[in-house]
C-alpha cells in the first residue's frame, strides 16, 4: 500500500488571526505522528525538498558536534525545526530564544512533553533577556538566518558579545547575508516577490535587510577574544539564497 504524503502549510497549521489550532491540524500533528524536523522546516520553506533538507541537516551536524550531555542555545529558533534536530541527538538542555510569542506557543505545543527545553522571549531593542544565562554555561550557540533582521550593527555587536560571553566552546551562525552581494540579492528578492521598486521599498521600509562584510566578525573577535578562531563557510547545496550568504563558525577552545 502506497504511503500517503501529508502536506502541512502555515494556513492549515493554525488560524492566523488568533493562532488557534484547527481541530484537523491538532489531530494531525499531536495524535497521528511525531512531527519531524523536515516537516517543520517545510512549513516555512514550502519548496524545500527532502534532499535539500538532508544537505542542510548534515552540514549543521558536521559543524556543531553535539553530545548527549551538552547544552545548546538556538537563537531565533522559529517554529522549532532545528530544536527537533537537536532533540534527536538526545541533547541534555536546550534554550530556545525567539522574538515571536506565537512561535514560542507553537514550540511549547509541539514539544509539550520535553522538560529539557527552556523558552526565552527576546526583543529587538536590548539584550536584557540574556541575563537569564550565566557566563560560559552553554556548550554551543546556534543561530540561523537571523542577523539580517537586526536593527543596527550596534545591536548585532551586542548579540555577538552575549554569544561569546555565555558560550563555552562553539558559536555557529548559519546564513549571514554577504554585503558584497547586496544589490544582486535585493534585486533577486524583489523579482521573486514580484514587487515594483516602490512596493519593495515600502514593504522593507521599517524592516531593512542587514548585510555584513566578513571583517565585521574578524575585527570584533580580535578586540573581544583574540585567541578565538573564526572560519567562514559556504552555505550547503540547496540552502535558500546559497550564493548570497555564508556561515560563521567561532571556536572558543
Mean local confidence (pLDDT), 178-204: 91
- pLDDT, tens only, 111-130: 887 888 999 999 888 999 99
Residues in a beta bridge with 108: none
Displacement of CA 231 from its chain's centroid (Å): 19
**Confidence class of residue 39 from pLDDT cuts 50, 70 and 90?**
confident
Amino acid 23: pLDDT = 61
Give the span between the Cα atoms of 69 and 55, in whole angstroms: 25
Taking Cα atoms as reference points, which of 2, 6, 3, 50 lies closest to residue 31? 6
- pLDDT, tens only, 114-170: 888 999 999 888 999 999 899 999 999 999 999 998 989 999 999 999 999 999 999
Mean local confidence (pLDDT), 101-105: 85
Answer whether 146's CB lies under 8 Å from 209's CB.
no
Amino acid 65: pLDDT = 80
Those residues with Cβ within 8 angstroms of residue 25's Cβ, 6 or more apart along the chain or in another chain: 8, 12, 13, 14
Mean local confidence (pLDDT), 80-101: 86
Answer whether 48's CB lies under 8 Å from 42's CB.
yes
Cα torsion at 226, 122, 75, 7 (round to 10°)? -160
Domains of the chain: 55-251 (3.40.50.150)
pLDDT of 198 > 70? The answer is yes
Amino acid at each position: 500500500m502506497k504511503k500517503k504524503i501529508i502536506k502541512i502549510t502555515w494556513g492549515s497549521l493554525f488560524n492566523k488571526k488568533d493562532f488557534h489550532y484547527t481541530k484537523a491540524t491538532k489531530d494531525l500533528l499531536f495524535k497521528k505522528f511525531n512531527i519531524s524536523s523536515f516537516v517543520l522546516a517545510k512549513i516555512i520553506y514550502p519548496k524545500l525538498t527532502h534532499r535539500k533538507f538532508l544537505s542542510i541537516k548534515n552540514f549543521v551536524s558536521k559543524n556543531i558536534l553535539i553530545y548527549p550531555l551538552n547544552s545548546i542555545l538556538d537563537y531565533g529558533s522559529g517554529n522549532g525545526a532545528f530544536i527537533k534536530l537537536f532533540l534527536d541527538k538526545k541533547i541534555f538542555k536546550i534554550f530556545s530564544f525567539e522574538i515571536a510569542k506565537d512561535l514560542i506557543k507553537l514550540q511549547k505545543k509541539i514539544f509539550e512533553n520535553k522538560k529539557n527545553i527552556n523558552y526565552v522571549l527576546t526583543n529587538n531593542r536590548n539584550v536584557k533577556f540574556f541575563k537569564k544565562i550565566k557566563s560560559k554555561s552553554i556548550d554551543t550557540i546556534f543561530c540561523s538566518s537571523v542577523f539580517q533582521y537586526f536593527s543596527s550593527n550596534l545591536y548585532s555587536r551586542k548579540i555577538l558579545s552575549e554569544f561569546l560571553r555565555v558560550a563555552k566552546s562553539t558559536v555557529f551562525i548559519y546564513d549571514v547575508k554577504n554585503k558584497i552581494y547586496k544589490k544582486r540579492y535585493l534585486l533577486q528578492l524583489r523579482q521573486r516577490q514580484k514587487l515594483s521598486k516602490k512596493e519593495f521599498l515600502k514593504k522593507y521600509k521599517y524592516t531593512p535587510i542587514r548585510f555584513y562584510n566578513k571583517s565585521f566578525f574578524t575585527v570584533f573577535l580580535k578586540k573581544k577574544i583574540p585567541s578565538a578562531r573564526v572560519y567562514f563557510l559556504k552555505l550547503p547545496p540547496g540552502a535558500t539564497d546559497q550564493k548570497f550568504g555564508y556561515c560563521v563558525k567561532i571556536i572558543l577552545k
